[in-house]
Each structure stands twice: as C-alpha cells, then as structure tokens.
Amino acid sequence: MHPLLRPAGTAGATPVTFVTPKSFPTVKARLRPAQQNFLEATGFEPHPGRTAILPDAKGAVGAVLFGVEAEDARHRDPLLVGKLPGQLPAGLYHFANDPGDLTRAAFAWIAGQYRFTRYRKASAKEVLLVVPSGVDGEAVTQAAEATTIARDLINTPANDLGPAELETAIRDLARRHRAKVTSIIGEDLLKQNLPMIHAVGAASPRAPRLVDLVWGNEKHPKVTLVGKGVCFDTGGLDLKPSSSMLLMKKDMGGAAAAIGLAHMIMAARLPVRLRLLVPAVENAVAGNAFRPGDVFPTRKGLTVEIGNTDAEGRLILCDALTLADEEAPELIADFATLTGAARVALGPDLPPVYTHDDALAAELAAAGMAVGDPVWRLPLWQPYAGGLDSKVADMNNVTTGGFAGSITAALYLARFVEKAKSWLHADVFGWVPSEKPGRPQGGEMQAARALFEVLKGRFG
C-alpha cells in the first residue's frame, strides 16, 4: 500500500467533511458551539477549494471542512481534493463523507503531494489518509505509483535521462514485474529494419534504440503500447528557438505515459499479453543529422520525404507502430508529445485522441471523466491526408499548409497500422504549466489512467 495511505479502520484520524453551499448549514449545525463560533470569526465560506481547520476542546486539530463543487456544477475539477493536503498540518485524516467519488479523491490526495526530489530536498510533511470504506487501496496505490513513475521520468533533465537511461527505467520496471526486455541499439536498428528510428537518433552520441518489453500469457489478448521516447528535441537542423527548446526534456512524455500504464497493467495482473515498445532517441544536431529534403525508407516499405526535422516523433513512431502491427494485436495504443497544434486546439490539460473505433472512443471519454484523466476525440479527417503528399516519395512527414497539425500527424501514423483490431493515438502534452489540484507544476502522465479503466473493463 502507498506510504501515504493507512488501512481502513485505522483509529485516531481527524475527520474531513466535504461541504457545498447547500450542505454547509446542516454540517455547521452539528458542530460544537465553539467550532461554530470559530467559523463565524474566521469568515469561512464553503467555496470550492476553501479549507477550515477546526480546533477541538484542547486547541488541537479536531476536524476539517473542505469546500467542493455541487454534483451538477458545470466546471467541476475532478481532482479538487488534491488541493487539500497542502493546506493541512502533518497527521492522519479520514473522509467523513463522500465528495462525489471516494476512489478519485483518494488518488487526488496522494497525487497532490507529489514532489520531484532528485536534485533538492522537499518538505518532509506527510499528510496521511485512511483508505475510505469500499475503496481498493491497492488500485489507488498502483495509479499513484504509475503517476509518480511518469512524472519522475519527465521531470528528469536530459543530461540524466537519455535513451540508455530510459531503457534502464524500463528494465527496472520489468524486473519488478518479471517481464522480458530486449533492445535494438545503434547500427543494429538498420540491420533489424528500423531505419527511421536510426535516422532520427543518428546525430547524437547517445545511441538510439528500440526497447521492447513483453509480459503475460501468450494466450491472452494482445495489447501493445507504444511511447514516443525523444529524450531531448533540439528540432534537428530545423532548429527550435530557445524558448521552444526549454521544455524539450518532456518530449519523452509519451513514453513515460506508456511506461506508467504498463506498470498499472502488470501490477493489476490484467489477463492480457502486454507489449511495450519505446523508440528512444535524442534529436540532435551534427554533421550526420538527417536533413530537410532527405528521403528515407520505413519498416513498412513506404518512403518518406523529410519536410521538417522537427516533426521527428512521427518518424520514430511509424517504425514502432509497424512492428507492433505485425502481430495483429487486439489493441495498439500510442502516446506521444507530438504536436503544438494539439495544445492550440485543446490546451495543455485535454489531450486529443484519435481512433477508428467508435466504441473505444466512447469508453475512453467516459473513463477519463470518471477518473479525472480527461481526453477529447478529434476526427481522422481523411480529406486532410492529401497534405502529406510528396512529389519524390510516398509521403511527406509534414503538410505545407500549417492547418490541422494534430489531425494530419494522426493521419500520418494511421498509415502504419492495418492489422490491429483497434488503434488509439493520444497526442499528449505531458506537462502541467501551472499548479492545479492534484497536479503539481511539471511532468504529467496523461490519458494512461483513462485507458487503464477501459482495459480493465474489457479484459479484467
């Protein structure tokens, strides 16, 4: 169980009561007169995110009130409870009532206390929670652990997280769950017909690679996760301006999400044959860097003209997707910090997802809202595919018009998946620009918890 959780029934915990403007008068009437007077004196109003710490008869913390949105509120923050631990003194607490979803609230409680401590010490304050009645503490723990794994990977700067270190993280996870890992590195990528991964990573002294994890019973349905592992993206010869390069340690955020999801699947022991494919590269600048106008073959046999070296993520993914598709799995899901166009369209908190599977899209949207990991489906609008045409190759890696960048990137990837029963592409941001409840500023795992709920429903 997570170190911030205690088993149900643990004694000595301070009660936390969730209040809305409607419920507050009733809750207030049940308090001791001194506590009612304290609320009056401090001017507490039950607005969402507001906290009142009420003293007991000895002046210690006796109870906590926390304002939440009404169930029908239009702008509900599903992880609002994640704001609460930061407003409380260290100690043990329990939920006295249900804020709407106890499992989601318990996850938010833990996720909101995340701190990246690799390079400096953080506050040692621990705000503990008794597992609410009816909540699966192990499931909450698995989701919180996956989130921490992904956040730590994204937050680690590129000088300490290159392709080799990303492979090490996957191997560490494999040892924990007794999975098998192989990797194809450097020039062997050409020998094993993974030319795009090699081309993108060739200019870096840190060798590119494809990391391949396999777990589970071969007879179970095949589920393959693919994560974009660009450990740093300079933009290549189409060099990014410095302002756009500052956050490029997060360009492996898709791989981090896929790794976090793989942990959840294996920890829950879902009856699936899991495969995790992470093409891990650094898009660097050197004399042997791939160039605009170059033409490369792909594993699928299609040739691609390089219209822009800063659209490298789809290049490494297309070889990995082709490899995944060769097994014709039940589902291929890829995660990638792929386009700025996705952020323009939907902002940093809402990743667009693409799939031909209407049922999968509906399940994913519902699951995302339920667990506080929202996604939004955008169309694979085939008329836009003509923008990827090339006069010298089968296709270009970018369009020239500048419109619908996230959609055309998804259409590019779609050409490399044919045999899988379903395919899902998530164009994630992988970052929280400013702190939100349950989501500290920094790296973030997106779309993975939502997809886990779908997988649990389909295969669990």
What is the set of active-site residues?
240, 314
The beta-strand segments (E) located in 244-313 are 273-283, 295-297, 303-305
Q: At a CB cut-off of 8 Å and minimum separation 6, what does 277 contact?
A: 210, 211, 212, 213, 224, 225, 226, 227, 320, 323, 324
- If phi > 0 it is left, if psi is from -120 to 50 it is alpha, else beta; for residue 183 that is beta
420 vs 326: CA distance, rounded Å: 8
**346 φ/ψ angles, rounded to the nearest 5 degrees:** -125, 0
Whether the Cβ atoms of residue 414 and residue 55 lie closer than 8 Å to each other: no
105 vs 102: CA distance, rounded Å: 5
Residue 342's CB is within 10 A of a number of other CB atoms, namely 26
SS3 content of the chain, % helix, strand, coil (to 5): 35, 20, 45
269 vs 156: CA distance, rounded Å: 28
Q: Which residue reads 């089968």 in tokens?
A: 394
Greatest distance between any 2 Cα atoms in the chain: 81
Q: How many CA atoms lie within 13 A of 79 on its CB side?
A: 22
Burial class of residue 242 (count of CB atoms within 10 Å of its CB; 0-12, 13-18, 19+): exposed
334 vs 355: CA distance, rounded Å: 11
Q: Output b/e per residue, 253-279; b: 16+ Cβ within 10 A.
A: bbbbbbbbbbbbbbbbebebbbbbbbb
330 vs 320: CA distance, rounded Å: 16
Q: Output b/e per residue, 198-226; b: 16+ Cβ within 10 A.
A: bbbbbbbebbbbbbbbbbbeeeebbbbbb
